[in-house]
């Protein structure tokens, strides 16, 4: 048995959060030194933007990781198991080879995983997502993998659990 491969969640909008922090501090600083009736509002709005950017970058979501081994995949949050799926227990995988995006259905929303590839609408990125995509598609039983050009096109035709 090989050692589990680890894939960590990462913030997808790091640059936007950093920009909000920089602009927020600048706006708050301007409000402090400008004075006048609007200065308090500028300080509050600026520091609020900086705080939101910091909260996004420090989110507990970035402590989530996916472990893949010979038996299945496991999702951990700050080291605690959220769920584990054996390869044979996966209900289905909808996979887009062109974007290397896939949705793993574990039978319930809390046991499912979206691996966002190029252009996928997800608020997070995953370290080495193409390798995770390939590992999932290679290990899931072939009759449970459905390939589509884009995941968005599969919404209306996704299999329903029986």
Let me know if residue 30 belongs to a domain: yes
Are 33 and 93 members of one domain? no
Residue 74 structural domain? 68-153
Strand order from edge to edge, sheet including 5-11: 80-86, 72-77, 64-68, 5-11, 124-126
- pTM tops 0.85, yes or no: no
Are 101 and 131 members of one domain? yes
CA distance 86 to 93: 13
Secondary element (H or E) of residue 67: strand 64-68
The answer for residues whose C-beta is within 8 angstroms of residue 13's C-beta and 6 or more apart is: 56, 123
Let me know if residue 3 belongs to a domain: no
List per-block mean pLDDT (blocks of 10 residues) for the chain, which spans 162 residues: 84 85 88 79 88 88 92 93 94 93 93 89 88 95 91 59 46
């Amino acid at each position: 048995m090989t050692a589990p491969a680890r894939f960590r969640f990462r913030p997808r909008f790091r640059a936007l959060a950093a920009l909000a922090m920089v602009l927020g501090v600048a706006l708050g600083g301007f409000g402090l030194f400008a004075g006048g009736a609007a200065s308090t509002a500028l300080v509050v709005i600026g520091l609020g933007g900086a705080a939101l950017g910091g909260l996004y970058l420090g989110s507990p979501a970035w402590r989530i990781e996916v472990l893949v081994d010979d038996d299945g995949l496991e999702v951990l949050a700050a080291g605690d198991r959220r769920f584990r799926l054996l390869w044979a227990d996966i209900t289905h995988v909808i996979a887009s080879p062109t974007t290397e995006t896939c949705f793993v259905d574990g039978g319930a929303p809390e046991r499912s995983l979206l691996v966002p590839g190029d252009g996928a609408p997800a608020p997070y990125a995953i370290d080495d997502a193409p390798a995770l995509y390939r590992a999932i598609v290679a290990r899931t039983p072939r009759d449970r993998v459905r390939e589509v050009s884009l995941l968005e096109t599969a919404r209306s035709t996704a299999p329903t659990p029986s």
